[in-house]
Amino acid sequence: MNPQASQASQASQASQVSVPPEISYTADEMMTVSAARALRDGVTCFVGIGLPSAAANLARATHAPRLVLIYESGTIGAKPSQLPLSIGDGMLAETADAVVSVPEIFNYWLQPGRIDVGFLSAAQIDKFGNINTTAIGGDYRHPKVRLPGAGGAPEIAASCREVIVVVRQGRRSFVEQVDFITSVGYGSGPGDRERLGLTGTGPQKIITDLGVLEPDPRTLEFTMTGLYPGVSASVAKERTGWDLRIAAEPEIIAAPTPAELAALRRFQGTRSRSHQ
């Protein structure tokens, strides 16, 4: 490797994971591929924009061609050829099996538990999987940062049969206690979802740029059960705002395959060209 390439490699170390020389990928690509793998063929998935949408569309393009994508705007079975900019992107309606009203999506499909998986992101998340996308710091009326808000996330978190959260791992996002509970995970622990009358099972995975967390069967506190190649348990703990528990033998999650990377980059490249 020449000196310039070596310097570039060192400069990108924070955003790259250690991989064999023949395969190079970013931490975000690893996270997106890992999230895509969590989706099974034939299930229905309520998709959020951003990383969840990228992962869901990657899954449909690779191992889960019968995955049914549902967006909050009312599109059922959307098959976009590029990553949508928003839930209102016309491409979603153009490629959908059906387009229904927003009230129908929530009242008929989501709330009765007809959707298998909800895919969410977060600005903050705590050890019980509670999500904040509302406000950071201060109080609700006078926060330091006002975030985009709830959208359909509280209903998705409450009613989907299971929830997967995709979020980059760092002390600002992985906090001991969220500043505002926008979407309930497990509340303060076992029994809270049942007490609140939430019908879904709650978050089953938090997929990050370091690895995968899953709830402890007894305490429901999220534990690091899988790490990406080149990521250590100590790094995961350093980038978490609570005393993160690590599984005794965390799985080393397989690196993206060339086919997965090609499909993901094709989506991203198509979006970049079409929205210039």
The per-residue pLDDT for range 36-69, each reduced to its tens digit, is 999 999 999 999 888 899 999 999 999 999 999 9
Task: Tell me the average pLDDT across 187-204.
Answer: 97
Q: Which has the closest alpha carbon to 184: 231, 224, 136, 125?
A: 125
| Residue 3 covered by a domain | no
Indicate whether 1 belongs to any domain.
Answer: no
Q: Which two tokens stand for residue 60?
A: 């449909």
Say whether pLDDT at 273 is over 50: no
| φ and ψ of 162, to 5 deg | -150, 160
82-96, 216-230, 244-258: least confident range: 82-96
Integer Cα distance of 155 and 122 in angstroms: 15
Please answer whether residues 38 and 205 qualify as being in contact, where contact means their C-beta atoms are separated by less than 8 angstroms: yes
**Angle between helices 51-61 and 258-274 in degrees, nearest 10:** 120
Q: Give the dihedral sign, CA 115/98/262/41.
A: positive
CA distance 101 to 132: 27
Tell me whether residue 219 is in a domain.
yes
User: Catalytic: which of 72, 155, 221, 260?
Assistant: 72
In a domain, 5, yes or no: no
| DSSP-assigned letter for residue 186 | S
Domain count, the chain: 1
8 A C-beta contact, residue 130 and residue 173:
no
Judge whether 227 lies within some domain. yes
Q: What pLDDT score was predicted for residue 18?
A: 44
Domain-embedded: residue 4: no
SS3 175: coil
Asked if residue 82 is part of any domain, the answer here is yes
pLDDT band at 268 (very low <50, low <70, confident <90, very high): confident
- The parent domain of residue 127 ranges over 22-274
- Using the predicted structure, report yes or no on whether residue 77 has a pLDDT greater than 60: yes
Separation of alpha carbons 240 and 171, rounded Å: 5
Query: Other CB atoms closer than 10 Å to residue 170's CB: what's the count?
Result: 15
Rounded Cα gap, residues 22 and 14, in angstroms = 19
CA distance 226 to 224: 6
99-136 tens-digit pLDDT? 999 999 999 999 999 999 999 999 999 999 999 999 99
Please report, for the domain that includes residue 33, its CATH number: 3.40.1080.10
At 122, give phi and psi (nearest 5°).
Answer: -160, 150
Q: Is residue 7, in this structure, part of any structural domain at all?
A: no
Radius of gyration of the chain (CA): 19
> Whole-angstrom Cα distance, residue 157 to residue 167?
15
CB-CB contact of 94 with 78 (8 Å): no
Q: How many CB atoms lie within 10 A of CB 212?
A: 24
Report the chain's mean pLDDT, rounded to a whole number: 90
Has 72 been annotated as catalytic?
yes
What local confidence, expressed as pLDDT, does residue 22 receive? 59
Please name which of 165, 204, 170, 167 lies closest in space to residue 183, comparing C-alpha atoms: 165
CA distance 14 to 233: 16
Q: Is 74 left (phi over 0), alpha (psi -120 to 50) or beta?
A: left
Determine which of 121-125, 149-153, 226-230 has the lowest per-residue pLDDT on average: 149-153
Q: Which of 83, 69, 149 is nearest to 115 (CA)?
A: 69
pLDDT at position 269, please? 80
